[in-house]
Structure 1
């Protein structure tokens, strides 16, 4: 995409972000978007067929960013202590991805069109996990259906995204990642039958946990 097209696409996106603070996506019109972006309708249609195509494009852009984080952090280890420790970095990268794309996440998550984004995210996570991650971990079967497993991790990812754009305080990605790793592997991962040894992940100390909780109270 050339510089002029990138600039006009960015103007359209910024206009949508501003309008989303005033009304839901369903109530936006192309005229309102181009007026706010200070563009003509013809420029809009050079990029998108209509406003729904526009939102689908924004969704695909965010999905591709998340997919890149996951694919670029495909584990090379078996599901053991080394693997668990390395997943900390993956969570940090996902948090940074959400933080760096805060306005895009907010636009997608706050819209009544958000179910489409959730569905795409779930399908992407399923493809990455089943096709790329599970084989490397030699996971042939879970104690629960794979689709339920995917729903669980999609929910975690969406909650992270929501927290990222709603938080008014600076986010300590490293500390939040440590907390989430402890929660996931001491609870859900064990329940799902992925680990059986609680000693694989050191527990967050009580004083650390209380300090973390204070950020939300």
Structure 2
């Protein structure tokens, strides 16, 4: 992609995220996005069909990057190690403006739904159903744990990260170990 086109696209996305952190999604207009990005309305429409498409593409991009951040060590699964979980929370902190905006905005409920769906897919591969989990209903366990993790992410981001990433991950990892959510060691 041409550098000027890429720069315009990035400016539009950055302007949109800034506006999203300042006001509700429903209040944001294409004119405001264009003005903040210092581009024309037409340029915004060259990149995105409308503000809903822009939101959708931002959500997709950030969720993909969040999931990729947990897979950087080459192991599959949503949180294959404590280090991967720490890396994911560092990514969340680095992009807290976006995550805080979409989690706090009541007019963007699909973000939490999509976050939880991504967690469900990853956790499904991680939960050990032997030992204390043997005979338990995996679907109920998955729903509970994905909701808990999504809630922790939402609380941590919208509360302006009241604990360091390291402290939060230490506590989360202990909880995940207690619930046999950590990866099963291969023997």
TM over 0.5: yes
Q: How many residues align?
A: 177
Residues 122, 164 of structure 1: alpha-carbon distance in 2 compared, 3 angstrom cutoff: closer
Displacement after TM superposition at 1:31 (Å): 1.1
CA shift digits 1:42-77 (9 cap, x unpaired):
11011111000000000001110122134445369x
Matches within 5 A, 1:48-127: 48-72=48-72, 74=75, 87-127=81-121
TM-score (norm 2): 0.76
Structure 1: gaps of 5 or more residues:
77-83, 196-217
- 1:69, 1:93 within 8 Å by CA — same for their partners in 2? yes
* 1:30 has 2:30 as partner: yes
Displacement after TM superposition at 1:98 (Å): 0.2
TM-score (norm 1): 0.67
Query: 2:166, 2:76 → 1: CA distance?
Result: 19
SS of 1:62 mapped into structure 2: helix
Displacement after TM superposition at 1:27 (Å): 1.5
For the aligned residue pairs, the C-alpha RMSD in angstroms reads: 3.1
Show the counterpart of 2:167: 175
Show the counterpart of 1:10: 10
Displacement after TM superposition at 1:159 (Å): 2.5
SS of 1:17 mapped into structure 2: helix
